[in-house]
Structure 1
């Protein structure tokens, strides 16, 4: 006998690097586990409409600015689930309307919570390591510590594509590439890549709905307008630079930590500090609102 297929809408609600999480009662399917807001898509209802409705009913807030996050298929012993996942940013002025028992959790705290197995792909996308190494040498990828990703900062030439073809999927899963390189990859490599890097001018040229569903995007930004645009179009994280004067860009005006902190507080997605950062600056950066740090020589 074939298993029934259920379509479920899931809401990923974000505020200041935190994610809204609840608890499934023991009587529910996959009960006694943590959950994101959401529920079954009703007949003649679109997944997005179901997401809005469930957020209103369960959480108590109405949001209209949603981004398609992913569609995830998962098979349990008794049922097949298609998760239609959307994410949205929760403005400060509606925080008081959120109903109990929903709570905010930091992204790395999600790793320690017991979610249904269908949610694991969501957890892995929401979590970012705290350090990003920037390198032109692909060989550095195999030497990364466990707490790092690597942005391979090269042009998408044939030689680089051939070089990447020799890298295992395990290592590719910790690699960030620019959008031009990503478009040259085969489907298996595209599926494995950790994130796609966008330059500031590319961010400014895009609009909501242009980003591919199911992929993480890391936006390079240098000012408030580009950061707000990155969040508006659905990017997952931001590289904000230069925090301090660098050897590679000595003429660029450094933001300084006070301005960095003010800019990081203006968005709800992780912001990595880049530019003149040393390896031991992670705690300092976090004190000024950074999710993590990124750099060329110090990692």
Structure 2
């Protein structure tokens, strides 16, 4: 069927978390398209419903649970043979009741991290899993403000951290041996604690003369994203400040974007804060997970998720 002639269907998708951090999967029952495929629960948004209302209704009808708290994640489109489907992903972290298979479907709890052990997974869902499983926290290095202070802060936080974290090595003002020393410390610390290290693309330009090859994935500056640089290297995310840059990040196939500044910051006093409402509006259009940045810390994660953030990125306020 011609894509332009297919109906557009809006679908609410619930990624329901239990206290152990596992997510709820359902297996599509016989009689439905893609019967036997595993998916996140949810269903069609009716004309008189908001996405959240549809999600609450579907969870009650399918599994007899009532979603009580959650927030938007992001939305994507998938072209099936029968329709063009726009998936509105919501994270649900609080619900009442115990799941029951009201439609005689199988269901199970499984981790998002690694292989969930389910097969087959709905075509629109499977490519999303690595993006959804990314850490909720991103710490930015700041060795240039004082090597010992940054080293101690990162060491204490990462050694106490029970969850996964992205550590972005970003040093705007260090050069030469001072930059190499900071990188080697951060890299060794990430390896020792099992955390994923990212390298800021601007910092890489100053570091590449000291290294034989790219040591970890790149995080692109907005300028490098828009100029199309580093396409020959592994780039996983980018910093952005508007919806047009978010669109470029999606088209380039990145795993995430970092959007801000949500609040005013001492590191960028010239940049006006966008606030949570504008962040929310832009994140919903992003089509990929978005980290909030700008005057935020670990304690802001809940607020960020209510406004559509995948997680928070932070400079000086990162703590275990």
Q: What's the TM-score, normalizing by structure 2?
A: 0.57
1:13 CA drift (Å): 1.9
Q: Which residue of 2 aligns with 1:76?
A: 80
> What is the correspondence of 1:74-223 to structure 2 with a 5 Å cutoff?
74-77=78-81, 79-91=82-94, 94=95, 97-100=98-101, 101-109=106-114, 113=118, 114-128=120-134, 131-135=196-200, 136-138=202-204, 149-152=217-220, 160-161=223-224, 164-168=227-231, 171-172=234-235, 174-177=236-239, 179-180=240-241, 185=245, 187-192=247-252, 193-197=254-258, 198=260, 201=263, 205-207=275-277, 209-213=280-284, 214-219=287-292, 223=297
Offset of residue 216 of structure 1:
1.4
Q: Find the aligned partners of 2:61 and 2:226 in 1 and give their Cα distance.
A: 51
After TM superposition, the structure 1 stretch with the greater mean CA deviation from structure 2, 107-116 or 163-172, is 163-172
Quick check: 1:230 aligned with 2:279? no
Give me the TM-score of the superposition, normalised by structure 1.
0.60
What is the Cα deviation at residue 60 of structure 1?
Answer: 2.2
| CA 138–111 in structure 1, closer or farther in 2 if over 3 Å, else same | farther
- In structure 1, the gaps of 5 or more residues are 243-251, 261-299
Q: Equivalents in 2 of 1:73, 1:63: separation in Å?
A: 24
Confirm or deny: 8 A CA contact 1:22 1:36 kept in the other structure. Answer: yes
- Distance of aligned partners of 1:191 and 1:27 in 2 relative to their CA distance in 1, 3 Å threshold: same
User: Contact (CA 8 Å) 1:51, 1:86: kept in 2 or not?
Assistant: no
Segment of structure 1 superposing worse, 186-195 or 227-236: 186-195
* Contact 1:132–1:151 (CA under 8 A) maintained in structure 2: no
For structure 2, list consecutive stretches of 5 or more residues without a partner in the other structure: 136-194, 265-272
Aligned to 2:17: 14
| Superposition RMSD in Å | 4.0
- The 10-residue stretch of structure 1 (50-59 or 221-230) with the greater mean CA deviation from structure 2: 221-230
Shift of 1:238: 3.8
1:34 Cα offset (Å): 0.7
CA contact (8 A) 1:67 1:87 kept: yes
Range with bigger deviation, 65-74 or 26-35: 65-74
Equivalent pairs counted in the alignment come to 233
Native 8 Å contact 1:12 1:37 kept in 2:
yes
Instruction: Give CA-to-partner distance per residue, 1:226-268, whole Å, 9 cap, x none.
Output: 23322332221345777xxxxxxxxx8x85xxxx2xxxxxxxx
Alignment map for 1:33-72 (pairs within 5 Å): 33-42=37-46, 44-72=48-76
Change (3 A) 1:232 1:72: closer
Contact 1:194-1:216 within 8 A present in 2 as well: yes
1:111, CA displacement in angstroms? 6.0
Any idea what SS the aligned residue of 1:72 has? strand
